Every structure is written in structure tokens, then in C-alpha cells.
Amino acid sequence: MPSAFSHALVGAAIGSSVSRPRRTWVLVLFAVLVAAPDLDVIGFRLGIPYAHPLGHRGLSHSLVFAAVLALVSYPLWRRIIPESARRMAVLTFFVVGSHGVLDTFTDAGHGIGLFIPIDDTRYFAPWRPILTSPLSVSAFFGGSGLAVLANEAVYIGLPTACVFLVRSIVYRARRSAA
Ligand SMILES: [Zn+2]
């Protein structure tokens, strides 16, 4: 997996399309939601094998799971942001789904169960430039984390910064045209 920082960055980039004044808390919520699929590492402690559909990079990383979460979130969005509930549910799908898709670009570990429970196949992207982040916090801060962050700055940070930049230019252009 990429580090939680990079997943959060991607979640924030998707959430940056939300208009003010709600943008800040939506960004925080999306940053948490996008990292949530990796909570499946608890399965290691519960004795669930890595390759099991409920194991790490399994069901919680699936686009099917993201779609179900988006559907479940819709009534909540209707209560919080009634005028944009449908759009927020769609964004929830992209935020949660982005996690598994991004993980397919990592260079180690098992593939991602993008379509579990419909199809248990684990998938990798044909190009895998992103270094896999250590699963344990101690290993991450023990040295290899720095190499992971440097790698992610290139392959995730730069493209995400471009998204923020383009969004900012479009937003300013619209404001000046209004
Ligand atoms: Zn993951």
C-alpha cells in the first residue's frame, strides 16, 4: 500500500471539488475514509490469511465495497448536505475506490481484490512504480518510510498537486467571470 499520507492526499484532492464553507470538514472526512480500507490489517491478528477475500487488500479494497459504502452514505449526505447528496455519494465512491486502485500500482505484497465478492481475483496494474509502505508504524519510521515518502512525492504528490493547481485556476477563472 502507499502510505496513509498519500491515500489522504488523494482523498483530499477528490474532496477539493466541494464548495466552501463545507470543504474543510469534508476534506478531513474524506482523508479518513480513503485510509479506512487498510483497517483490514486487523485480519492478520484475527488469523485471516492475506489471500482470503476478507484478508488484507481484499473486500475492503474492492470497488464493490466502495459502491456499497457510497449507497449507505447517501441518506447521511441527504441529512448533512441535502442539495448535493447524490454528488457527495458519488464522491464517496471515488474516494473509497481510489484506495484499492492506487494500491494496484504498488511494487510488492498481494494484488488487490477490486471486484470481491463478485470475483476473488487479486489485481495489479501493468505498471507498478509505487514502493509498498511497511505495514507497521515502527518499520515506517525506522528508515524505509523516508524512501517510501520520497517515491510517493513523485508518483502521487506531483500529480495530486497538478489537480489542486488546475482546480484553483478553474475556480479563480469562474469567479472572475461571474
Ligand atoms: Zn491498502
**What is the model's pLDDT at position 71?**
97
Domain spans of the chain, in order of start: 4-177
Cα(18) to centroid of ligand 1, in Å? 25
Mean pLDDT value of segment 32-57: 94
Query: Could you tell me the pTM of the whole model?
Result: 0.86
Per-residue pLDDT at 4 exceeds 90: no
Q: Residue 111: what residue type?
A: G
The average pLDDT across 110-135 equals: 94
Would you say residue 21 has pLDDT above 80? Answer: no
pLDDT tops 90 at residue 141: no
160-170 CB burial, b ≥16 within 10 A, e <16: beebeeeeeee
For residue 166, report the distance from its CA to the centre of ligand 1, in Å.
27
- In this prediction, residue 1 has a pLDDT band, given cuts at 50, 70 and 90, of low
Residue 162 or residue 3, greater confidence: 162
Give distance in angstroms: CA of 89 to centre of ligand 1.
21
* Mean predicted confidence (pLDDT) in 34-56: 94
Q: What average pLDDT is seen over the chain?
A: 89
Name the nearest CA neighbour of 12 among 103, 29, 159: 29
pLDDT given at position 53: 97
Q: How far is the CA of 100 from the centre of ligand 1 (A)?
A: 6
- Ligand 1: centre distance to CA 21 (Å): 30
What residue type is assigned to position 54 of the chain? L
Mean pLDDT of 122-143: 83
Q: How far is the CA of 74 from the centre of ligand 1 (A)?
A: 24
